[in-house]
């Protein structure tokens, strides 16, 4: 039972990552209407959050169930910490090392963060 709960949670989390990846692709295409640099910046900003969410989902949804409650709690803390560190590291790298348009990068990042709020309306549990 607990293994199926972990699989179901992982499936829902990966659906959200795929939705966010789709939004990222749409942002890149919209950015092309403005300029190549804006397009790349929107893509980089949005992919930073998509990658962080993927890592988080992979770590958190390894286990579930009452017997694994402590392990699930520990995995959540580790996953969230890694997500924050990875996000900060990738944002710093992108803003200092890549030829991006910073406002566009942050807009792409913010759109993916906000997509979490609306994901439950789009992704239905099966």
* pLDDT at residue number 102: 97
In the chain, helix, strand, coil percent, each to 5? Answer: 85, 0, 15
Residue 31 to residues 4, 40, 44, 65, 106: CA-CA distances in angstroms?
Answer: 40, 8, 12, 43, 13
User: For residue 61, is pLDDT > 60?
Assistant: yes
Q: What is the mean pLDDT of residues 36-40?
A: 97
CB 83 within 8 A of CB 60: no
User: For residue 2, is pLDDT > 70?
Assistant: no
Q: Which residue has the higher pLDDT, 92 or 66?
A: 92
């Amino acid at each position: 039972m607990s293994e199926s709960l972990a699989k179901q949670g992982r499936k829902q989390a990966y659906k959200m990552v795929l939705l966010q990846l789709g939004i990222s692709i749409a942002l890149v295409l919209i950015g092309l209407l403005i300029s190549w640099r804006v397009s790349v910046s929107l893509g980089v900003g949005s992919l930073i959050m998509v990658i962080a969410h993927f890592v988080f989902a992979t770590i958190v949804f390894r286990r579930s169930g009452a017997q694994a409650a402590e392990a699930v709690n520990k995995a959540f803390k580790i996953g969230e910490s890694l997500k924050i560190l990875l996000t900060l590291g990738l944002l710093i790298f992108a803003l200092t090392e890549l030829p991006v348009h910073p406002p566009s990068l942050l807009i792409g990042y913010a759109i993916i963060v906000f997509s979490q709020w609306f994901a439950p309306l789009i992704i239905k549990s099966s």
